[in-house]
């Protein structure tokens, strides 16, 4: 061999890697590390999946949320229960962004629960045909600048029975003057009143533990027999930072009203008024066990009534028992912070 020439490189053995296998080992290590930080679709978004399951359980088990020492948290959640559905779209967007199959699957629980609770309200449940009576209820509002105009608009709806709440002495006088020709019969007890095209009897206040009269009873003489009508304006509710959802006056009034309805001798009953609560709220179990919401059985949509500018809750109610609700709807705003509610009823 000539002096100064390089020795030929040794040929690798068949199947051997030039780096002695170190490259394959490092590749496996990198893939393992990436696997730790890039979990599969069923392992991604576990926090989102937990939030979706929690939302579903909240919808399904809202009645188990305690009241009392918790600042009436249960009633507060139930007041705005339909709005919990708004959490589903952002959770879905986050689940798709994370490509989390577990979070998407978990969202089936709140979607199913929401549809079970409120899906029936999304369709029109009104019954075609002529109703025996049209009833209207409205919280006129103590600050309404034109209660007479509100009464005039409500009379134009064709109501046979017109219940008004939160009447001031001035509003009472204005409404009596405005409605005298259309409604020859009426009764006012404290801050609530009932105007009728049909004769009234047994008119009296109903004690709902508010001091001054805030509810009344009347018997309406119809060609299908007597109809017991209650008009009520229950106590207001408030949310305080320290004490939570304050509902004691309303809850006591709801219980008193439920007892009055239970003692009613007439089989046909209609309850009209501003109850300052939704029928999802457990505070009204005593009433909903005896009467049914016209909006729920014959309405179209949620029928939110408060506040009038952007309604978020249906606190103005028409409840019926012994008669059939054919239809239920809201009327246009009148200058009050509540929207009027109406229903057609028949003597089935």
- Nearest to 299, CA basis, from 283, 319, 282: 319
- For 120-129, 170-179, 260-269, which range has the lowest pLDDT when averaged over its residues? 120-129
Q: Which residue, 274, 292, 302, 301, is CA-closest to 345?
A: 292
Share of the chain above pLDDT 90, in %: 82
Four-residue CA torsion sign, 143, 275, 162, 165: negative
Q: Which pair of tokens denotes residue 278?
A: 């939704």
pLDDT at 122: 93
Question: Considering the entire predicted model, what is its pTM?
Answer: 0.87
Label residue 238 by pLDDT band (50, 70, 90). Answer: very high
Widest Cα–Cα separation across the chain: 134
* 94-104: pLDDT as tens digits: 999 999 999 99
Q: What is the pLDDT of residue 133?
A: 98
Rounded Cα–Cα distance for residues 268 and 270 (Å)? 7
Residues 6 or more apart whose CB falls under 8 angstroms from that of 8 comprise none
CA atoms in the 13 A half-sphere facing the CB of 143: 2
> What residue has token string 């016209």?
294
Residue with tokens 């001091």: 211
d(CA 175, CA 148): 5
Residue, of 243 and 156, whose pLDDT is higher: 156
Q: How crowded is the C-beta side of 169, counted as CA atoms within 13 Å?
A: 0
pLDDT for residue 35: 56
Q: Over 90: is that where the pLDDT of 229 sits? A: yes
Question: For 131-183, what is each residue's pLDDT tens digit?
Answer: 999 999 999 999 999 999 999 999 999 999 999 999 999 999 999 999 999 99
Higher pLDDT, 10 or 70: 70
Domain spans, the chain = 46-121, 124-346
Number of H helices, E strands in the chain: 11, 14
Residue reference for tokens 């299908």: 224
Residue 15, pLDDT above cutoff 90: no
* CA-based nearest residue to 73, from 247, 318, 306: 247
How far apart (Å, rounded) are the C-alpha atoms in residues 57 and 63? 11
Least Cα distance to 254 among 229, 227, 212, 288 occurs for: 288
Q: Could you report the per-residue pLDDT of 30-51, keeping only the tens digit for each?
A: 766 665 556 677 888 999 999 9
Place of tokens 């020859």: 184
- Note whether 277 and 234 are within 8 A (CB): yes
Q: How many residues does the chain have?
A: 348
Q: How close are the terminal C-alpha atoms of the chain, in Å?
A: 119
Min mean pLDDT across 63-77, 110-124, 191-205 is at: 63-77
Does 5 score more than 80 pLDDT?
Answer: no
Report how far residue 154's alpha carbon sits from residue 179's, in angstroms, rounded to the nearest whole number.
Answer: 10
Whether residue 20 has pLDDT greater than 60: no
DSSP string, 58-85: HHHTGGGS--GGGTSHHHHHHHTGGGGG
CB 333 within 8 A of CB 321: no
What is the architecture of the domain spanning 124-346? Answer: 4-Layer Sandwich (3.60)
**Residue showing tokens 């949509």:** 301
How many angstroms separate the CA atoms of 284 and 274, rounded? 13
326 or 19, which is more confident?
Answer: 326
Give the CB-side neighbour count of residue 5, counting CA atoms within 13 A.
Answer: 6
Asked if residue 327 has pLDDT above 90, the reply is yes
Residue 18 pLDDT exceeds 60: no
CA–CA gap between residue 147 and residue 157 (Å, rounded): 16
pLDDT in the model for residue 198:
98
pLDDT at 272 over 70: yes
């Amino acid at each position: 061999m000539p002096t100064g020439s390089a020795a030929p490189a040794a040929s690798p053995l068949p199947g051997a890697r030039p780096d002695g296998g170190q490259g394959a080992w490092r590749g496996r290590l990198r893939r393992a590390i990436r696997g730790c930080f890039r979990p599969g679709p069923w392992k991604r978004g576990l926090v989102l999946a937990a939030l979706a399951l929690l939302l579903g359980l909240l919808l399904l088990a809202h009645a188990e949320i305690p009241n009392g020492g918790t600042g009436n948290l249960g009633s507060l959640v139930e007041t705005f229960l339909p709005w919990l559905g708004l959490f589903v779209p952002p959770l879905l967007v986050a689940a798709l962004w994370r490509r989390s199959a577990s979070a998407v699957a978990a969202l089936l629980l709140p979607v199913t629960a929401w549809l079970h609770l409120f899906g029936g309200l999304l369709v029109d449940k009104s019954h075609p045909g002529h109703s025996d009576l049209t009833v209207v209820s409205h919280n006129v509002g103590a600050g309404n600048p034109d209660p007479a105009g509100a009464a005039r608009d409500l009379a134009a709806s064709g109501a046979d029975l017109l219940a008004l709440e939160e009447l001031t002495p001035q509003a009472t006088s204005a409404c009596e003057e405005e409605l005298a020709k259309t409604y020859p019969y009426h009764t006012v007890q404290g801050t609530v009143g009932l105007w009728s095209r049909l004769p009234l009897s047994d008119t009296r206040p109903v004690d709902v533990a508010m001091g001054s009269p805030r509810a009344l009873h009347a018997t309406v003489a119809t060609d299908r027999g007597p109809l017991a009508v209650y008009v009520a304006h229950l106590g207001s509710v408030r949310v305080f930072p320290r004490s939570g959802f304050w509902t004691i006056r309303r809850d006591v009034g709801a219980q008193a009203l439920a007892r009055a309805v239970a003692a009613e001798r007439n089989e046909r009953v209609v309850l009209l008024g501003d109850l300052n609560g939704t029928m999802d709220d457990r505070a009204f179990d005593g009433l909903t066990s005896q009467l049914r919401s016209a909006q729920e059985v014959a309405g179209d949509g949620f029928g939110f009534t408060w506040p009038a500018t952007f309604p978020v809750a249906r606190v103005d109610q028409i409840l019926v028992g012994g008669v059939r609700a054919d239809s239920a709807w809201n009327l246009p705003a009148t200058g009050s912070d509540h929207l009027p509610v109406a229903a057609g009823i028949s003597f089935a």
